[in-house]
């Protein structure tokens, strides 16, 4: 059984939309590919038919995994969050202690992570380092270049 994951309403809607797309359009497209390949003759030596059947198996596997994720997804209620500490769905402004660079990230689940949008996974090294910290704390994060220290400047939800 998959573990419960917390999402924003927007993130959960995106997952449900993707699942719907795979179940409808994705299945229809695969069925057309199989039908076209079947029309080409002898199935025992038809590589196109084999490839379409393989694609169908992969699609069904992806659908099953996504159904499990959506089934265990929960929307997080910000009103019940401890706003004094960084946690899932908190937006955290941090400053690199060494060079003074300030960045802002929102901590999200792995499926919602998007660095370009400023959303980092709670399971990432940054997410793990920031999680549970309060304003004024120093987070030590294991980066590829070594340990980096960040000061927590602000936490909002």
Picking from 49, 112, 105, 103, the residue whose alpha carbon sits closest to that of residue 76 is 112
Tokens of 139: 């987070």
- CA-to-CA distance for 120 and 111, rounded, in angstroms? 10
The CATH number of the structural domain formed by 5-75 is 1.10.287.180
Residue 109 has pLDDT above 90, yes or no: no
Average pLDDT over residues 84-95: 88
Q: What is the rounded CA–CA span in Å between residue 51 and residue 61?
A: 15
Work out the pLDDT band at 16, boundaries 50, 70, 90. very high
Q: Would you say domain 78-156 falls under CATH 3.10.50.30?
A: yes
Nearest residue to 139 via CA among 155, 151, 154: 151
pLDDT at 17 over 90: yes
Q: 58-84, pLDDT tens digit by residue?
A: 999 999 999 998 888 888 766 666 678
Mean pLDDT of 127-131: 90
Q: What is the pLDDT of residues 116-128, one digit of tens each?
A: 999 999 888 889 9
Beta-carbon neighbour count of residue 15 at 10 Å? 18
Q: What is the pTM of this model?
A: 0.63
Going by pLDDT thresholds of 50, 70 and 90, the confidence category of residue 1 is: very low
Domain positions in the chain are 5-75, 78-156
Lookup result for tokens 């939309």: 17
């Amino acid at each position: 059984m998959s573990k419960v994951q917390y999402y924003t309403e927007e993130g959960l809607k995106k997952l449900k939309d993707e699942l719907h797309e795979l179940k409808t359009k994705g299945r229809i497209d695969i069925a057309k590919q199989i039908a076209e390949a079947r029309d080409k003759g002898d199935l025992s030596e038809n590589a196109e038919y084999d490839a379409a059947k393989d694609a169908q198996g992969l699609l069904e596997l992806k659908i099953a995994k996504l159904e499990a994720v959506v089934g265990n997804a929960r929307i997080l209620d910000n009103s019940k969050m401890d706003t004094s500490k960084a946690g899932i769905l908190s937006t955290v402004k941090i400053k690199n202690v060494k060079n003074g660079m300030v960045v802002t990230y929102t901590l999200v689940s792995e499926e919602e992570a998007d660095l370009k949008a400023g959303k980092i996974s709670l399971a990432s090294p940054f997410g793990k380092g920031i999680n549970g910290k309060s304003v004024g704390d120093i987070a030590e994060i294991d980066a590829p270049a070594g340990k980096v220290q960040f000061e927590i400047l602000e936490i909002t939800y």
